[in-house]
């Protein structure tokens, strides 16, 4: 069974704080991982992809991958109210099959 | 590129009617995915195609659902007959098998079956 697990939240953080979102996946052979952001009533939007162990930074976003622990995380620094959304973790299984986690709802409080 | 294009954006139909959802993937992409999203079940993969060939349709809920991809630039998801429990947002996404694997979503079709 190909699965991606996330804490559904909601996760509430004050404006300016660091938001930490976590994800685990079932298939040790997976090589590609993605974070999507979905605003209410909108489609998922790709914000980060990561393929190697370690950290990948893009602006206020940092994705972290630990393949030994089958764990992916997303850190959002200096959180803004506009970051309030649902964040979906996805893994590519077998190089072809995209599987999404249930999403974590983030609320950034002004 | 215009991105993944889905139509219609909204569909309201009566129970028992046939519904057809349409998707045009990003030009050059050779993988296409159909997802259904509800509050209760989240984002569920229904079926995906590689190079126009259906690879995994295990997520299709029942025989009332069917999907086709007659060519690289067009796919349909059909529900016949539709039922109120089919009400959801249906997303199409595409990616490139030879690229970095990132999938890009269309705007979705909000289906309401009354």
Task: Confirm or reject contact between A4 and chain B (CB < 8 A).
Answer: no
The model's pLDDT over B11-60, given as tens digits with 9 standing for 90+, comes to: 999 999 999 999 999 999 999 999 999 988 889 999 999 999 999 898 99
Percentage of chain A modeled with pLDDT above 90: 80
Beta bridge pairs of residue B24: B5
Q: Across chain A, what does the average pLDDT equal?
A: 93
- Asked if B45 lies within 8 A of A90 by C-beta distance, the reply is no
Q: How confident is the model at residue B76 (pLDDT cuts 50, 70, 90)?
A: very high
Q: Would you say B90 and B78 are in contact if contact means Cβ atoms under 8 Å apart?
A: no
Quote the CA–CA distance of A10 and A8 in Å, as a whole number: 6
Above pLDDT 70, what percent of chain B?
Answer: 98
pLDDT digits (tens, 9 = 90+) for A4-55: 999 878 999 999 999 999 999 998 888 899 999 999 999 999 999 999 999 9
pLDDT at A30: 85
Q: Is B43 on the interface with A (CB under 8 A)?
A: yes
Following DSSP, what letter does each residue of chain B receive, concatenated? ----EEE-SEEEE-TT--EEEEEEPPTT--EEEEEEEETTTEEEEEEEEETTEEEE-TT--STTEEEEEEETTEEEEEESS--GGG-EEEEEEEE-TTTT---EE---EEEEE-
Quick check: A97 and B48 CB within 8 A?
Answer: yes
Name which of B113, B46, B93, B30 is nearest A34 in CA terms: B93
């Amino acid at each position: 069974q190909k699965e991606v697990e996330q804490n559904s939240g909601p996760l509430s953080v004050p404006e300016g704080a660091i938001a930490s979102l976590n994800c685990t996946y079932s298939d040790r052979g997976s090589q590609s991982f993605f974070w999507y952001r979905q605003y209410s009533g909108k489609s998922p939007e790709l914000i980060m992809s990561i393929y190697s162990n370690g950290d990948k930074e893009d602006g206020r976003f940092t994705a972290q991958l630990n393949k030994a622990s089958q764990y992916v995380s997303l850190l959002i620094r200096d959180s803004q109210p506009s970051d309030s959304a649902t964040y979906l973790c996805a893994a590519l299984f077998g190089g072809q099959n995209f599987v999404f986690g249930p999403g974590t709802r983030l609320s950034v409080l002004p | 590129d215009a991105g993944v294009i889905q139509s219609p954006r909204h569909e309201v139909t009566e129970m028992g009617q046939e519904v057809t959802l349409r998707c045009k993937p990003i030009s050059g992409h050779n993988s296409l995915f159909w997802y259904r999203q509800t509050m209760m079940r989240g984002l569920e993969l229904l079926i995906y195609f590689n190079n126009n060939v259906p690879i995994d349709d295990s997520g299709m809920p029942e025989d009332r659902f069917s999907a086709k991809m007659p060519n690289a630039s067009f796919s349909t998801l059909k529900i016949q007959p539709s039922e109120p429990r089919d009400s959801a947002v249906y997303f199409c996404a595409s990616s490139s098998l030879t690229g970095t694997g990132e999938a890009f979503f269309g705007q979705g079709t909000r289906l309401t079956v009354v």
